[in-house]
Amino acid sequence: MLLAINPEWQTRAREEVQEICQGQMPDADMIQKKKVLTMVIYESLRLYPPAPLISRESFEDLKFGNINNPKGLNVWTMFLTLHYDQDIWGPDAHDFKPERFANGISGSCKHPHVSLPFGASACICLGQHFAMSELKILLSLLLSNFSFSLSPKYRDSLVLTVTFRPEHGVNLTMRKL
């Protein structure tokens, strides 16, 4: 959806895929070289994280600065609160700007540890590398064969359940290249 409404990034990602893959099926070496596609994926996950929140329980009394966390306290963190914070990401925090990730996650914002598309610390998603590889392969194949734009039937409506999802799906108009 984000590439459909940002054709300049769709073009950049397609050019990168064509340059690296040269009409071949993406392999592990090609996947590693896709910097533009990686930036697009990270920015998409920032704007639309797959999970709405993360919860952590204190197993002992902890103190963070002036904040006391007693044993048993559950701390809930909404990803969107962090991912859309203008103090962290800048005044354009609500905009699709993959160039934020030109220097990786660590160079993306003032506090890179708040980019949490796959969770954090000991509870990080075990499948994050596999998921990133799958996304790069899928997007490479789509970009190699199609251009896409939002369908006039598309209705923007994000639903919060166990995951974030579009209530009415994402209707795209696909054109074979």
Residue ranges of the annotated binding site for heme are 125
Binding residues: 125
**Cβ–Cβ < 8 Å for 37, 16:** yes
Residue type, 175: R
Q: What is the DSSP string of 93-116?
A: TTS--GGGGTTTGGGSSS-GGG--
- Give the burial string for 158-171 (b: 16+ CB within 10 Å, else e): eeeeeebeeeeeee
How do the residues of the chain divide into helix, strand and coil, expressed in percent and rounded to 5?
45, 20, 35
